[in-house]
Structure 1
């Protein structure tokens, strides 16, 4: 927000503070510098050129980054999911900051005076507060959305409809309008006469400063802090529970292997296995010529073959149905698992292994199933080769469980790092500005320099350039979408 800036700031602050606090700030005459462009500047020509280049670069980065985010969601199929509407809303807010607010701020800072009239001034200030507040409130909405998705994944997955998300987004923009519009309705201390020497700045009325700063920053900051702490705690607890469950499963698996080994040894030492094999063999010989179909009808050899083919087809169909059911269950579980991500994104370390986690889960399930079957067969027929294979498979499963525990700890560390980046960037960018915004109207002797004011103001604006990076760089799908839009080969 452009609350205080330009070389006329000292004069404006003195006039504003004099009416309520007394005046401890000295008035300074604005020093103007000539330029090769034939216009006077508020800073030396080389400094003006450097400032224009740097700030223009920030504007371009902000526009390009947020446009890429918006296009990615609407053109790249994997990103067309309902929770990404919050990211689009955030990108729209940051994009409007870059288009409606920043260029005029650059001109105002370099020129040292407002040349665009009272109506453009009011539009500019209102757009500034509206768009910056919408950006901050969208960050708050994203935090709440992820908190609900992590703490109540199953129920919230059903509640998170397009209508519900759009209502939340509309609520963010309406609340932003409610915070930014009161000065237009008379809650201001703007001068009655406005000319090129009059600074274009938001009202310094204390009541509005408190109202707007609470709604635009301090309340969202408190909400985001509490929510991200809860997300971090919930994520760490869940990862530890999974690690503990994995350890218990590993112990149970080892106990199962030991029990099977003992059972096999017992069968080898006795004659029970021989008698069982003889019984099975005699039963097969007895039914070699005829077979009961289960309904009391004795079948001959030809009927028996047809019966086997029919049963085989039936078993194949049943297997296909069971496989489809398993895939549906797996898809549901993976959907819930994806919601558990702190940043609601994929956290694969290797882009080439994007399906690695899914395949690994499938593999370990198959290994576990095959391992159990092999152990049972090895125990029944006392086959040493199969028993050796059983132990090898068991070792693979145990090794996988150990590796899974390490991955869980790695995810926990990444979650903490991501939360730290999100909150750290937000606080660093906006806290200095809002502290200045709140303190100056209540402190008659607080007169920050123009350069300090401009630096702190643009530090807040930079958050709009960093948001596309923070909320997309951890997501492999966004990176792929960006490469596709930019024509870069993956």
Structure 2
């Protein structure tokens, strides 16, 4: 939000004859300033237009929560179109040459668009917070109507914050005085400064800080849970290997026994082998799980050998963890006895399945880490860009002896504007769909 401290009038304005006319800075500095700031404006316009077009033209991005991203991009785009070009001219010339009425509209647009950008960041933070902390209920509540109402609320609140100077809450000079000083600056009415700074920055900053701390904590908790699930899957994998090895050993022993038994026992051995083969065949369907019965109410001699094997099996060394991490189903019988729990311990052919599961979990953990890292980047960039300006904005009206130079004021002001350049980068570069949409729009996508 452009601001010049009109009370510090002891700093003389420069009067340099340059290619651009009479400027406040030397020609080399004017060229460097115009070139750099024009590049920033162009980058802001292109980046935010790409974001808007991506959401409306790339099908995977046409989801309701991306409407917040579109609203943010619109706010940043209006900053680049309505505010920044006039600020470049004002910074180079050192005086406002467009009249008091355009000055008032420019300042109002400045406050409106920058506030809308910040409040859209706050709305995005809240949307992510609700989606993480209450995913099931919020998925039903996150309708197009609800999102559009939130976006409308952002812009209405921005208008409420930016419009009071237009209806008299200002200290702007009279038109004849304005023609003499040619200074276009935000009002320094202390009441309005507090009101606008709280609504435009400090309250959204507080909300975003609390929300992103909660999101960060939830993300770290999810990382721990997924890491624990990965350990359990490794244990289950070992369970399957041991089960398969034990079964192979039993088959080998059975084969040797049948080979060495007396002829009169061959019939019984064949029956046992046939029964075992049927049990094996019923369990060896491709990618079907092994069903291990666990019935705490029936602990008799018939399943004592099963209990011994279970106690020596790493799959059930932590029974509670396994039960919590696997799917259980209930089997009923015709005698209406208590139904045993069935734990899906391990696929019969674990190699491919576990390779797939581990890969999915690795990708998921990587995404969670990137999300946590992105949260830090979002908050860090937002604070670095806007905190210096709003501190200056609040301090100067209450500190008559605080007179920063015009160069420092311009630098701090443009630092806030740069947030509009970085927003489309931060909120989209970490999203693969946005990257694909950008490449498609720029003609860089492979045919």
TM-score range (shorter-chain normalised) is 0.7 to 0.9
| Counterparts of 2:127 and 2:274, CA distance in 1 | 65
Question: Is the counterpart of residue 120 in structure 1 residue 116 in structure 2?
Answer: no
1:28 corresponds in structure 2 to 11
Ranked by relative contact order (alpha carbons within 8 Å, sequence separation 6 or more), the top structure is: 1
Pairwise CA distance, 1:368: 11
Question: Is the counterpart of residue 239 in structure 1 residue 223 in structure 2?
Answer: yes
1:201 corresponds in structure 2 to 185
1:45 corresponds in structure 2 to 27
How many residue pairs get matched?
Answer: 374
1:86 and 1:138 in contact (8 A); partners too: yes
Pairwise CA distance, 1:260: 4.9
1:411 corresponds in structure 2 to 367
| Counterparts of 2:353 and 2:366, CA distance in 1 | 20
Pairwise CA distance, 1:55: 0.8
CA-to-partner distance for each residue in 1:315-338, whole Å, 9 max, x for gaps?
xxxxxxxxxxxxxxxxxxxxxxxx
C-alpha RMSD over aligned residues = 2.8
Worse overlay, 231-240 or 88-97: 231-240
Would the alpha carbon gap of residues 391 and 92 (structure 1) be closer, same or farther in structure 2, given more than 3 Å must change? closer
1:66 and 1:92 in contact (8 A); partners too: yes
Following TM superposition, the consecutive aligned residue runs of length 4 or more in structure 1 with deviations greater than 6 angstroms are 270-273
| Counterparts of 1:449 and 1:196, CA distance in 2 | 21
Would the alpha carbon gap of residues 107 and 368 (structure 1) be closer, same or farther in structure 2, given more than 3 Å must change? farther
| Counterparts of 1:368 and 1:471, CA distance in 2 | 46
Any idea what SS the aligned residue of 2:179 has?
Answer: coil
Pairwise CA distance, 1:405: 5.7
Question: 1:145-294, aligned counterparts within 5 Å?
Answer: 145-192=127-174, 193-266=177-250, 268-269=253-254, 274-276=270-272
2:2 and 2:107 in contact (8 A); partners too: yes
Worse overlay, 164-173 or 244-253: 244-253
1:350 corresponds in structure 2 to none
2:230 and 2:361 in contact (8 A); partners too: yes
* Unaligned residue ranges in structure 1 (runs of 5+): 15-25, 282-366, 376-389
Any idea what SS the aligned residue of 2:429 has?
Answer: coil
Would the alpha carbon gap of residues 405 and 424 (structure 1) be closer, same or farther in structure 2, given more than 3 Å must change? same
| Counterparts of 2:194 and 2:286, CA distance in 1 | 64
Pairwise CA distance, 1:215: 0.6
Give the TM-score of the pair, scaled to structure 1: 0.71
Would the alpha carbon gap of residues 78 and 409 (structure 1) be closer, same or farther in structure 2, given more than 3 Å must change? closer
Pairwise CA distance, 1:473: 0.6
* Unaligned residue ranges in structure 2 (runs of 5+): 259-267, 278-283, 293-345
Comparing both structures, which one devotes a greater share of its residues to strand?
2
Question: Is the counterpart of residue 130 in structure 1 residue 86 in structure 2?
Answer: no
1:371 and 1:394 in contact (8 A); partners too: no
| Counterparts of 2:7 and 2:212, CA distance in 1 | 38
CA-to-partner distance for each residue in 1:1-58, whole Å, 9 max, x for gaps?
0122xxxx4xx224xxxxxxxxxxx623323111234x31111112111111111111
